[in-house]
Structure 1
Amino acid sequence: MAASRRRPRLDEPAVLRVRVTLEHSDPPIVRVLDLRSDLRLDQVHEVLQVAFGWADSHLHRFALGESVFDDTSEKFLCSFDVEEQDDGVPETTVHLDETLSRPGDVLRYCYDYGDDWSLDLVLEDVQALDRVSVSARCVAAERAAPPEDCGSRRTAEELAGVLADPAHVDVHDINEVLGSPLARLVTGPFTPDLVAALLPLTGSLPDRIVPGLLAQLDEPAPLDRAEKERALSTIRWFLERIGADGLAMTAAGWLRPEDVVAASEMVPDGPDWIGKKNREIDTVPVHQFRLMLADLGLTRKYEGRLRLSKSGAAAYDDPDRLWRLLAGALPPGKTRTFARQAGLLVLAQIAATGVSDTDAVARALTNLGWRTSDGRRVDGFQAYDATRAVHAALASLDPSRHRRMRRPEDSFGPAGRQLAFEALLDLH
């Protein structure tokens, strides 16, 4: 097996200025793009489709080497070619800075294997990334691109037969599409699971989730270590109480009364809970909080005791590590399951608006095709029930407030919004 041509990832994300030229075009058909270095190649494909005005109705692939079909090239494949078991790796597993990192590097791309729209992506410059940088922007363009299915026309004379003005291209129009909420979702740093959940909703759900959510889904101001430490105080208190020896549990598998009483003074909604608050089965906020810690992989039951998991033990006294662990664990659940899609929608709501509205999430889940076992539409309580761990985790980050986790709609502060946003990022 030949050695990979891929480069190590850049230490920090940057802006790559890339000159993209359609092969054999005369005069040259060119787009100059500023692209975030951490874009996956499937996202770069979406940008190229916008930049050249194509409709993503044909197959495509990328390659490092002489061409995308050369036997010696390293190929990065679209999903169809992966399913066909073509030679190469999925484009979804490769980032742009693994293919372009030094000025002069060249990445090949081909769209529509019949018309053979082959593009050369040449790295011109590596620039610093700042908070206002977008994922993709067109900075210059030369000449209109060939339209779909025009028979591989690429000279001015040939294109004059299918275009009103082969010389006309509008950079503003390209950037208007690249800057749209939908394009920012597709080319943004978000987990593919979130994109898969939101894309089907973009034309069907005119409420808080889409499109208003997409328009507001920007990175919040980051928290410093001290702010994270304050936000995590409730979770860290519970993990520290478990400690290295664990907590003995009752024969029925519940927390002991003294631990329930202590926890009820710390967890969200606990201090205002009715009753003596000495039985876990009757003290819902404590029970939900304990289940949340287990769902996120921080604790486990073993030989009659509640113990820290390996990851929980390694992270509970390190706020930064614990924060990263929580971001990576939210939302719990396997890909494309009801619970995970519900959790992603709630996290997106909170990250974008600071509000969780499970009635809106229920409508979104219904639009995604989910139904109850007897065929009914999803309701707000079912959406909330599936996202209890998400609500409990984010509610715990505001220890100064005794937030009611059981309401179908609730607001969250800066820490909750920040963790929700980080949980949506594609960190692979």
Structure 2
Amino acid sequence: MPATVHTLKVTLRDVRPPVWRLLEVPSETTLGELSGALVWAMGWEGYHLHVFTADGTAYWPPGNDDWFGGYEDESRHRVGDVMPRSRMTMEWEYDMGDSWSHDIVVQSIAPAGPGATLPRCTDGGGACPPEDCGGAWGYAGLVDALGNAGHSRHGEAVEILGEGYDPSHFRPLERRRG
């Protein structure tokens, strides 16, 4: 059982209505493991590159040193070391093409409760955009087209988002990562 748990509020930038998740992770979680939990909490598949940035330091997945110099290996850094206090922040960018930027804020750090199964998503808001839809601007265009049957991209929006898609609806996840 972990000694302490970080409660993190993760907010996707530049998307309306706001998309956010409240995530609990063991403080000893590596940034690489955190990325997996974030992908799960947001509802993505995890096949894109990502980077964390905190206090001017970039943390990349191992093996990307040929592409990007001057980075830290995310597998060697833990959440509790990078963000040791409440209200500390970090950025997580997922998918360098669509550039989904997220603000991560430490809400609290507390002793782990007995029997806690982590990571887990305890709350959230807004529907997460689908992967590969063109980033925040492409997503906004799809949502606009979905709401207008006469829009030239309406059919595409229905195909990508689904007929009854509601961007404000948060579908509660299985409460813990499976």
What TM-score does the superposition give when structure 2 sets the normalisation length?
0.81
Tell me what 2:32 maps to: 42
1:3-152 matches, within 5 Å, as 13-65=3-55, 73-152=56-135
Instruction: Structure 2: state its 5+ residue gaps.
Output: 147-156
Equivalent residues of 2:32, 2:61 under 8 A apart: yes
What's the CA shift for 1:44? 0.2
Residues 34 and 87 (structure 1), Cα distance of their counterparts in 2 relative to 1, 3 Å cut: same
Give me the CA root mean square deviation.
Answer: 2.0
Separation in 2, partners of 1:36, 1:159: 37
In proportion to residue count, which structure has more helix?
1
Separation in 1, partners of 2:124, 2:61: 26
Separation in 2, partners of 1:133, 1:150: 35
What's the CA shift for 1:153? 2.9
Tell me what 2:175 maps to: 175
Residues 159 and 36 (structure 1), Cα distance of their counterparts in 2 relative to 1, 3 Å cut: farther
Provide runs of 4+ in structure 1 moved above 6 Å. none
Kindly name which structure, 1 or 2, has the bigger radius of gyration based on alpha carbons.
1
What's the CA shift for 1:135? 2.3
1:299-318 matches, within 5 Å, as none
The number of equivalent residue pairs is 159
| More relative contact order, 1 or 2 (CA 8 Å, 6+ apart) | 2
Deviations 1:211-253, CA, capped at 9 Å, x for gaps: xxxxxxxxxxxxxxxxxxxxxxxxxxxxxxxxxxxxxxxxxxx
Paired letter, 1:175: R
Instruction: Structure 1: state its 5+ residue gaps.
Output: 1-11, 66-72, 181-428
Residues 134 and 154 (structure 1), Cα distance of their counterparts in 2 relative to 1, 3 Å cut: farther
Tell me what 1:166 maps to: 167
What's the CA shift for 1:156? 7.9
Separation in 2, partners of 1:53, 1:167: 15
Deviations 1:23-81, CA, capped at 9 Å, x for gaps: 1122211001111101001000000000111111111011113xxxxxxx111111242
Q: SS in structure 1 opposite 2:175? A: helix
Residues 174 and 87 (structure 1), Cα distance of their counterparts in 2 relative to 1, 3 Å cut: farther
Q: Percent identity, aligned pairs only?
A: 26
In proportion to residue count, which structure has more strand?
2
